[in-house]
């Protein structure tokens, strides 16, 4: 194969896409609201990719992702990733994310501490936000300090971390309410 290929495939959450090279999976795109939007995202990020039949490695990844979204616990250890354009720190974050058991979560701070860079929680958050390997590298298991789950990655489409975690049986804290957002900034009440 020359260059990069991509394929659109059906899952229980909609039509996802996978982009690959001869080295491995380059990116996964979760479904946008419409398939045309998913394709548009592929063309924006990977204009050189051409639609074709998945490679054996991409097919293995597709089978695992379809299974994961059906509630199964696939093993992605045999799936090769093309990390040629991924910074070293991000690779370390992704490797750690792959060790988080299904149904469990870790915070940005916990990962930074585990990697020996305890002051780098923001850098971990940035790496997670740029994860091109959605589902294969389970970035949905990495949350901000309050375990809030509404953030999306650029490759996340319209699917939230909360929805992906619920498929795995995890129960993180729900979204912040307006009361929780305003309470910390409200002035204290004078005693009566």
Catalytic sites, residue numbers: 139
Closest CA to 126 of 145, 108, 110: 108
What stretch of H or E contains 143? strand 142-143
Closest CA to 96 of 78, 80, 116, 82: 116
What stretch of H or E contains 101? none
Q: DSSP letter at 88?
A: H
Distance from C-alpha of 72 to C-alpha of 84, rounded to nearest angstrom: 30
What stretch of H or E contains 73? none
Closest CA to 85 of 155, 9, 27: 27
Distance from C-alpha of 30 to C-alpha of 12, rounded to nearest angstrom: 11
């Amino acid at each position: 194969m020359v260059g990069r290929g991509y394929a659109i495939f059906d899952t229980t959450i909609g039509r996802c896409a996978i982009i690959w090279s001869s080295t491995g999976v380059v990116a996964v795109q979760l479904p946008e609201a419409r398939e045309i939007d998913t394709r548009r995202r592929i063309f924006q990020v990977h204009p050189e990719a051409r639609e074709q039949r998945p490679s054996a490695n991409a097919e293995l990844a597709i089978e695992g992702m379809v299974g994961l979204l059906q509630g199964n616990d696939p093993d992605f250890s045999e799936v090769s990733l093309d990390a040629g354009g991924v910074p070293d720190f991000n690779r370390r974050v992704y490797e750690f994310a792959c060790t988080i058991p299904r149904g469990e979560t870790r915070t940005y701070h916990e990962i930074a501490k585990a990697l020996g860079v305890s002051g780098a929680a923001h850098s971990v958050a940035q790496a997670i936000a740029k994860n091109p390997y959605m589902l294969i590298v389970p970035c949905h298991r990495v949350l901000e300090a309050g375990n809030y789950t509404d953030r999306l990655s650029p490759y996340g489409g319209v699917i939230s971390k909360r929805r992906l975690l619920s498929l795995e049986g995890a129960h993180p804290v729900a979204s912040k309410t307006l009361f929780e957002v305003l309470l910390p900034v409200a002035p204290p009440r004078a005693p009566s």
